[in-house]
Structure 1
Amino acid sequence: MSKIIHENVENSIAAPVIGLTFFAIASGFLMSLIPLSLSYFGISQSLTPWLASVFYFGLLLGATCIQKVIKYLGHRRAFILFLSLVAITVVVMLLLPNPVTWIAARFVAGMAIAGVFVVVESWLLMANCPKKRVKRLGLYMAALYGGSAAGQLAISLFGTQGIQPYLLVLGLLFLATLAPLILRSGQPVSEELQRINRKEIRHINRPAIIGCIVSGLLLGPIYGLMPLYLSQSTAFSGQTGLLMASVILGGMAVQPIASALSTRMSKSLLMAIFCLLGCIAVMGILESSSLLMMAISLLLLGASSFALYPIAITLASDTLPIEKMVSVTELMLLCYSVGSVLGPLMATSFTAADDGLVVYLGVCLLATCIYMLIKSMAAISSGQKPIAG
């Protein structure tokens, strides 16, 4: 059975990666477009953290039930279904622009996007070789963050007012759906998918779980609140799209580095190093006096924040068979979603100061750096292999 799955995966990369790239452009644009276009639709900007949190709450709930859909429909048709649901939520938001509808639409979109992530991640992780899993997840992250960066640049090109930007998002989602529609062969075999039992969950590396949770605590506020912070609390409000693109480009650029290092050193130590880099980036943001310094600092922040999830998920999947890849990606996405739900709400408690969001990110990064250092030192002192995390 493993041989059959392995052979299918060899020819299955194009559809998920191409579809994900167009989806990432649409999603990256939409995540920043929503908070910046609220005033155009007559919706208060105070709704911004709630829209972000309800989206990630949908992501959390969606992560608990994706495997059944994939097992019933297969990866390709499930991918089409989830992309179509995201597009439908955008249409509903345009037709009924009011707070209740938008909150409901973002909740459904979160559930659908959970499906997109689990489908693509498990599709690429269903390989027998751990090194191949790392490389494919690096490709996945590069496509995801590269597309997201392009989506951020669309803010400057197409603006945030009117319905035209939302029509662009719908067009990109349509292109994303074309990939699995046209490339109909090569999906992994889904009939033998297995769930992770309680005993296996207890043995999943704790730094992997913490890494996914912290990734959500960081990326939830970065996606949901950073555009408003850059446009209202800095001297570079006219460059919000460019600066957000710097964050995502940092996340994209770090993927090959993270992939290469994760097979050569302790993954928990590697996460500690990236968190330390993030702390340096936070100090740079707080002290930035020029656009260049701000862009470089945000680039480093993106590199550190976006590196955690792929390292953590490969750490969690290192000892599991390919039949459990969908289940482990569900679990890791669930951990990420918990952090993403709490992140924007926790960040608002720091907003009494102008730089409260940045201070919140710094606290999360510093605490995680210390935790990962302790865990990596404990692993070394107990005689574990460094690569085990």
Structure 2
Amino acid sequence: MIEFVATSKSNNPLAPVIGLSFFAIASGFLMSLIPLSLSAFKLDVDLAPWLASVFYFGLLIGATCIERIVVKIGHRFAFILFLSLLILSVLAQLVMPKAGVWLMARFVAGMAVAGVFVVVESWLLMTNTPKARAKRLGLYMTSLYGGSAVGQLAIAPLGTVGAVPYLFVVGLLLLAILAPLLITSGQPDSQELQKLPLKEIKTLSRPAILGCLASGLLLGPIYGLMPVYIAAQSEQAQYTGLLMAIIILGGMLVQPLVSYLSTRMGKNLLMAMFCFLGAASVLGILQTTSFSGLVVSYLVLGAASFALYPIAITLACDSLPMAKIVSATEIMLLSYSLGSVLGPMLAANFSDASDGILLYLGGCLATTCIYMLIKSMKDIPTGSTPVAG
């Protein structure tokens, strides 16, 4: 895998953060819009898990080949290229509402989004100090999840029928492109270096890799299938956009807590703690009889599900020099993408039950919790204090 090196003087995060914010609003709205608009375009609702999986398969494929494009044309032009490709995929869905076209468009969109992630993550993480990397990662996650939460709120006023919602997404993506178009300075200096050796890949933390995998297994169905589940519940249907926004808002609000706790307790134990809270929130959704209880449960579910990826990625990068950070994050993205491909299809197997997706999410969270607890106990030497991560 190709690595990047950058100097902090040449790296200004303004363009990627502004662009990412508009991209996140558009992407968050689009992820919920697609499964909810299938009927309006006379497409089978059973297409929803396939659309989610093919999107994440595109993300998986894109994560393996995007980095060399960034090296060749630079971060700024790569950002513009991938956002433009995403716009074309959305327009293709709108112009040709056929199952085959939508599947291909979502695959292309997945590759484009992988490009956006690699560009923005490397742009922000390519700085000289671990403290600065942690601060920028928090900024990245907050912008991404905050924008996604805001995007969910567009469901109620814009609806899910006709061309207007999709044109709104295109408009937001055009605004995202303006940032790298108008801010022409500040991209990191990049150069091609040696590939990360296979033997070093094998030494990456297994809990980190599995934490990213579990994150994909959770977030793939949450983005792809949860809107359909909420819309099918008579007492929740009118609040579909709001409840999806609350899930993602939980993911945004938990980021400062994740950053604070990551340096104060073992990361394996921290992932186990959030998985336990997530499993408890699933029980809360199933058992609560009040709307306020439902809101709190969805908020905690979002916080737990979105907390895993940043904890896992920092666990993987804890002992790595700056020159290897991007290659490590690329491997984490591959692991996340694999989980995101499998997640919607596995969750679809629970569709016969009325609460199938919640049973699936609860099972994933409980299983990951047990694994991380076992790993955290192995990290505790006899008679010593726990090691971090």
Report if aligned partners of 1:268, 1:376 keep a CA contact under 8 Å in 2: yes
* Corresponding residue of 2:180: 180
Superposed displacement of residue 193, structure 1: 4.7
| Cα displacement string for residues 213-235 of structure 1 (whole angstroms, at most 9, x for unaligned residues) | 00000000000000000001352
Question: What are the ranges of 5 or more consecutive residues in structure 2 without an aligned counterpart?
Answer: none
3-state SS, counterpart of residue 185 of structure 1? coil
Alignment of 1:224 onto 2:241: no
Deviation, 1:260, is 1.2
* 2:294 alignment counterpart: 294
How many Å apart are 1:3 and its aligned residue? 9.0
Match of 1:7 in 2: 9
Report how far residue 342 of structure 1 moved.
0.4
The verdict on how the C-alpha distance between 1:234 and 1:372 changes in structure 2, with shifts beyond 3 A counting, is: farther
**CA, structure 1 residues 319+97, in 2 after alignment: closer, same or farther (shift >3 Å)?**
same
Q: Structure 1 residue 192: deviation in Å?
A: 4.0
- Per the alignment, residue 78 of structure 2 pairs with 78
Q: Which secondary structure state, in structure 1, belongs to the residue aligned with residue 97 of structure 2?
A: coil
Task: State the match for 2:114 in structure 1.
Answer: 114
Q: Distance in 1 between matches of 2:194 and 2:285?
A: 45
Which residue of structure 2 lines up, in the alignment, with residue 253 of structure 1? 253
Q: Indicate conservation of the 8 Å contact 1:269/1:376, yes or no.
A: yes
Q: Which residue of 2 aligns with 1:381?
A: 381
Q: What SS does the corresponding residue of 1:380 show, helix, strand or coil?
A: coil
Give 5+ residue unaligned stretches, structure 1.
none
The equivalent residue for 1:264 is: 264
Distance 1:13 1:193, change over 3 A: farther
In structure 1, the partner of 2:49 is: 49
Q: What is the Cα deviation at residue 333 of structure 1?
A: 0.6
Q: Distance in 1 between matches of 2:70 and 2:216?
A: 24
Distance 1:364 1:74, change over 3 A: same
Counterparts of 2:5 and 2:67 in 1: how far apart (Å)?
Answer: 21
- TM-score relative to the length of structure 1: 0.96
Q: Is the 8 A contact 2:5 2:126 kept in 1?
A: no
User: SS in structure 2 opposite 1:203?
Assistant: coil
Residue-by-residue CA offset, 1:243-290 (whole Å, 9 max, x unaligned): 000000000000011011112221111111111110111111111212
Question: In structure 1, what is the equivalent of residue 39 of structure 2?
Answer: 39
Q: CA deviation at 1:128?
A: 2.5
Decide which moves more: 212-221 or 263-272.
Answer: 263-272
**DSSP-derived class of the 1:204 partner:** coil
1:307 corresponds to which residue?
307
1:1-389 equivalences under 5 Å are 5-9=7-11, 12-381=12-381, 386=386, 388-389=388-389
CA distance 1:102–1:194, shift in 2 (3 Å): same
Deviation at 1:325, TM superposition (A): 2.7
Between stretches 214-223 and 72-81, larger displacement belongs to: 72-81
Aligned mates of 2:7, 2:194 — CA distance in 1: 13
Q: Secondary structure at the match of 2:202?
A: helix
Q: Say whether the 8 Å CA contact 1:194–1:323 is kept in structure 2.
A: no
Q: Higher mean Cα deviation, 232-241 or 300-309?
A: 232-241
Per-residue CA deviation, residues 341-378 of structure 1 (Å, 9 max, x unaligned), is 00000001112211110010001001111111111110
CA contact (8 A) 2:379 2:387 kept: no
339-348 or 262-271, which moves further after superposition? Answer: 262-271
